Chain A
Amino acid sequence: MQNALTPTPHPLEADPLPPSKPLSGAQADIIVPVGRCRKWLASESAKFWLMMSPALLGFIIFSAGPMLTSLYLSFTKYDVVSPPKWIGINNYLYLLRRDPAFWPSVKVTTIFAAASVPLTLLIALLIAILLNQRFFARNLFRTIFFLPALLPAAASGVVWVWIFDPTRGLLNHILATVGIVGPAWMHSTTWALPALIIMSIWGFGRAMVIFLAGLQEVPPQLYEAAELDGAGTWHRFYHVTLPMISPVLFFNLVIGIIDALKAFDLAFVTSTAAGAGAGGPARATLLYTLNLYQKSFNYFHMGLGSAMAWLLFVAILLLTAINFGLEKRWVHTS
């Protein structure tokens, strides 16, 4: 079967113009290209490139082209209306040295990622391990823990704003019943970011489902062997479960960090719906992407926005590279 797949044409079709019958120059000029063209159109590679063409066009028009263009724009002053003006690295210098919102938004994003990624992974792993056993209503539990991850951020965001409402919200009401006076949450510069982190953890279901899939690949014999050796619950987790699911943990970590750096929807919806203005109050929830959005689409500083986008891209690539560099130290490959 292998041979039939190789694109070797039938010997008789191999050359439309057998060399034994040379044509005069003029005839050959016309016929040869047409013949070759037909032959090429019937070939595997023609069909391949034809079928790939939508995706390739899409790649050039919607990904690669804009990516290179935005790199260029990051070195220009640009407002969409007038043509871009080259200003060298001034956008980058401005962001790093003078822009009042840049470092605050980096700080907010760092805190957000540093808190939400580990907490999400920890909770997702804990629930996945508990769910990875046979018991009553197991699938129902899995559904309940997974569902919030799929709900539209605009809808769940406004629900959270209502729950975190300082005076009429559910959360402060519950806190009051145990004698705690709740903070102003989305209206407080101190508590708005913690509130955002809590909301984002609610969507841990995606990581949980990936953990569950990883856990189901662990051969049960390993647990039986560990048990015969007298290993307790903790030892079984540490010496069997953790190494076996480390590739899945690695995947969740890499994706989790990337998603946290790119997070936009929930922060945008909640800060706007709380009436604090996007990223508010006073930049307390101004994630990096919100700052980028405002610079580009509220103030039309699109060169500056492009520079921010490239700094974000470089940060993502660097963090991912670091993750892959550390991978060998702790990820178990079989």
Chain B
Amino acid sequence: MTESISKTPNRGGWLIWLFLLSGSVVMLLPLAWMILTSLKSFPETLADPPTWIPAHFQWGNYLQAIRGFEFSRYFANSIIVTAGCIAGTLVSSCLTAYALVAYKVRGKNLVFGLLLATLMLPAQVTVIPLFKLYVTLHWINTFRPLIVPRWFGNDVFAIFLLRQFFLQIPRDYIEAARIDGASELRIMTTVFVPLAKPALLTIAVFTFIGTWNDLWNPLLYLYDEKLYTLPLGLMQFIGVAGTAQGTPWHLVMAIATIMMIPVVIVFFLAQKRFIEGISAAGIKG
């Protein structure tokens, strides 16, 4: 739709193309090196000078990495936390955004303004009282500190995005449904949610990436190794494995690759959503 711009033939077009091509190679080089290393044998990772292509592709490294490291546990933990956060963000941002759009109430803009203001609040400012709160509630070493805030509208960006989307839905729909005697929750779930699917998908993918990649919260609240999510697990693996006879970089790279795969898959499935979501933040925000 907004496919762009200059229709004039570009004289330096191929030069630009070559420039972008070399730029892409530079961007992909770290990832290529990661995958190549993950397929080398341990002695080969120590070679000086390093080799580019492994002499024999050691696919077994992946199995060894998964088995030698509590991989399935960390992976499962990451999935549980991510799923809990996605569900919480979707439900709570739907309720909040619907309330902000469907009713005319004094103080509504003030409430929305307060919520938006928390976007300016660095996590470091709230972290110490939150830590104390979670200690008091016995929530340390549980997934609750990671998941529960998401059920309480903690993701203001999601609320903002969904509100923008809900505002485009004609108000007549609400009025018509109310006259038919539908309850507010019913209007929200049967009228707004289906129409806002693209925005909800955008929120789901952003929450997925945010939680899957999150290091800060697990680092603060999870101390029991059995509860580690993948980022903490990987750091733990480097710390433990590194002390014996040098870091097994081939296995570390295999784990890093596996950690990135879900992100890459979600990215390719929902690339448009990402770009629209980030653009919306930049243009409308």
Residues of A with Cβ closer than 8 Å to B?
1, 4-7, 44-45, 47-49, 51-52, 54-59, 61-67, 69-70, 73, 78, 80, 127, 130-136, 141, 143-148, 150-156, 158-160, 162-163, 167-170, 173, 176, 202, 206, 209-210, 212-218, 220, 223, 227, 248, 251-252, 258, 261-262, 264-265, 268-269, 272-273, 275, 289, 292, 296-297, 302, 305-306, 308-310, 312-313, 316-317, 320
Q: List 8 A-B contacts (CB under 8 A).
A: A51-B99, A55-B153, A63-B154, A69-B128, A133-B16, A148-B31, A206-B278, A251-B285
The answer to whether B256 and A305 have CB atoms under 8 Å apart is: no
Interface membership of chain B positions 174-206, coded 1 if the CB is closer than 8 angstroms to chain A and 0 otherwise: 010000000010000000000000000000000
Chain B residues 119 to 178 lying within 8 A of chain A, measured CB to CB, are 120-133, 135, 149, 151-154, 159, 171-172, 175
The answer to whether A152 and B8 have CB atoms under 8 Å apart is: no
The answer to whether A135 and B5 have CB atoms under 8 Å apart is: no
**A158 neighbours in B (Cβ, 8 Å):** 234, 238, 252-253, 256
Cα–Cα distance between A260 and B98 once the two chains are bound (Å): 34
**A275 neighbours in B (Cβ, 8 Å):** 242
Cα–Cα distance between A73 and B8 once the two chains are bound (Å): 62
Chain B residues 234 to 280 lying within 8 A of chain A, measured CB to CB, are 234-235, 238-239, 242, 249, 252-253, 255-257, 259-260, 263-264, 267-268, 271, 274-275, 278-279
**Known contacts A5-B104, A66-B130; is A155 also within 8 Å of B125 by CB?**
no
- A310 to chain B minimum Cβ distance, whole angstroms, is 7
**Known contacts A45-B103, A65-B129, A162-B37; is A54 also within 8 Å of B96 by CB?**
yes
- A1 to chain B minimum Cβ distance, whole angstroms, is 6
**Known contacts A52-B96, A170-B29, A313-B122; is A152 also within 8 Å of B263 by CB?**
yes
- A39 to chain B minimum Cβ distance, whole angstroms, is 15
**Known contacts A268-B215, A292-B124; is A154 also within 8 Å of B152 by CB?**
no
Cα–Cα distance between A220 and B8 once the two chains are bound (Å): 11
**A297 neighbours in B (Cβ, 8 Å):** 131, 220
Cα–Cα distance between A152 and B114 once the two chains are bound (Å): 30
The answer to whether A70 and B50 have CB atoms under 8 Å apart is: no
The answer to whether B253 and A162 have CB atoms under 8 Å apart is: yes
The answer to whether B48 and A223 have CB atoms under 8 Å apart is: no
- B88 to chain A minimum Cβ distance, whole angstroms, is 9
- B255 to chain A minimum Cβ distance, whole angstroms, is 8
Residues of B with Cβ closer than 8 Å to A?
2-8, 10, 13, 16-17, 19-21, 23-24, 27-31, 33-34, 37, 45-50, 92, 95-96, 98-100, 102-106, 108, 111, 114-115, 118, 120-133, 135, 149, 151-154, 159, 171-172, 175, 184, 209, 212-213, 215-216, 219-220, 230-232, 234-235, 238-239, 242, 249, 252-253, 255-257, 259-260, 263-264, 267-268, 271, 274-275, 278-279, 281-283, 285
Secondary structure of the A contact surface, majority rule? helix
The answer to whether B4 and A153 have CB atoms under 8 Å apart is: no
**B127 neighbours in A (Cβ, 8 Å):** 66, 70, 296, 309
Most buried by B among A7, A143, A151, A305: A151
Among B33, B96, B104, B171, point to the contact of A159 (Cβ < 8 A): B33
**A272 neighbours in B (Cβ, 8 Å):** 235, 238-239
The answer to whether B96 and A51 have CB atoms under 8 Å apart is: yes
Cα–Cα distance between A297 and B19 once the two chains are bound (Å): 46
Which A-chain residue is minimally distant from B13 (CB atoms)?
A: A135
**A59 neighbours in B (Cβ, 8 Å):** 114-115, 118, 153
